[in-house]
Amino acid sequence: MVGTGRRPPRSGVSSPAVGVREVLYSVYERRLSRELSAVDDGPRHVALMLDGNRRWARDAGLVDVNDGHRAGAAKIADLLGWCEEARVEVVTLFLLSTDNLSRPTAELEPLLEIIADVVDELTGPDAPWRLRVVGALDLLPAAISGRLAHAAVRTTGRAGLELNVAVGYGGRQEIADAVRKLLLQHAESGTSIEELAEVLDVDHIAAHLYTSGQPDPDLVIRTSGEQRLSGFLLWQSAHSEFWFCEAYWPEFRKVDFLRALRDYAARHRRFGS
């Protein structure tokens, strides 16, 4: 499903016109909130691909594309608040893929610092969320992986929603890591390959995924108009609903989020049946 809200023009729009548009968005947002308040079976797990930061920065005329990443990072706390209002229990954010790790050092290092900074902010003493870092942390610089791991420990026992941040993440890598852990576990217990092959099923692999113990995503949202998974939650999204939005991530509004929830509520999920 593609969200129909196009990015607004960045020039030639008078201030009164912008003000009217914001009022209309506010009215629309309240109407959507009322509609969704009567929905009992909203998504438990929402996964988001926060795409379009660099393109937003270029369109805005910014010289440093990292300003786009900073603007996107500043949006995350708002999103989590919207998810809490919608009674979402688990949120997974795709922040950095394994493919992104091949970017030039001059671009990658500032991006990693921005990610570590926003994770620190999201796990501060006043934040209610429980953090899990999903991804191949061993592929990240030691200082960054250490900060992320420490942030996750800091949130142990908190009562808020579960927040997964996918950093250095690739769906194929996750499945390979799960199979590797499974084989090592059974090798340590003395199980032969033949014995394992006799009993191996999808639940054995699922138990070793980065998101083990959590429900699979009900709804996957991608911003920026791209309509592909890019390796995100390949295993877990087998029965997910997808919603694609034209807005770049820094421009993603609460009304966009509510429209995604409304569209999800209108669908009949068949889970392959």
Render pLDDT for 150-176 as a digit per residue (tens, 0 to 9): 999 999 999 999 999 999 999 999 999
Residue 141 has a pLDDT of 96
| DSSP conformation class of 60 | T
Q: Average the pLDDT over 123-144 and give the result.
A: 96
Q: Average the pLDDT over 209-228 and give the result.
A: 97
Render pLDDT for 18-27 as a digit per residue (tens, 0 to 9): 677 777 667 7
What are the sequence ranges of the domains in the chain? 41-168+217-266
Residue 29 has a pLDDT of 72
Q: Under a CB-based contact definition with an 8 Å cutoff, are residues 123 and 78 in contact?
A: no
Q: What are the structure tokens assigned to 123, written together? A: 């796990």
Residue 182: other Cβ atoms inside 10 A: 16
- Residue in 66, 100, 216, 256 annotated catalytic: 100
Task: Answer yes or no: 203 catalytic.
Answer: no
Residue 151 has a pLDDT of 97
Q: Please give the single-letter amino acid code of residue 156.
A: T
CATH architecture of 41-168+217-266: 3-Layer(aba) Sandwich (3.40)
Residue 8 has a pLDDT of 46
Render pLDDT for 75-129 as a digit per residue (tens, 0 to 9): 999 999 999 999 999 999 999 999 999 999 999 999 999 999 999 999 999 999 9
| DSSP conformation class of 9 | P
- Residue in 51, 216, 218, 256 annotated catalytic: 51
Q: Which residues pair with 164 in a beta bridge?
A: 92, 132
Task: Answer yes or no: 164 catalytic.
Answer: no
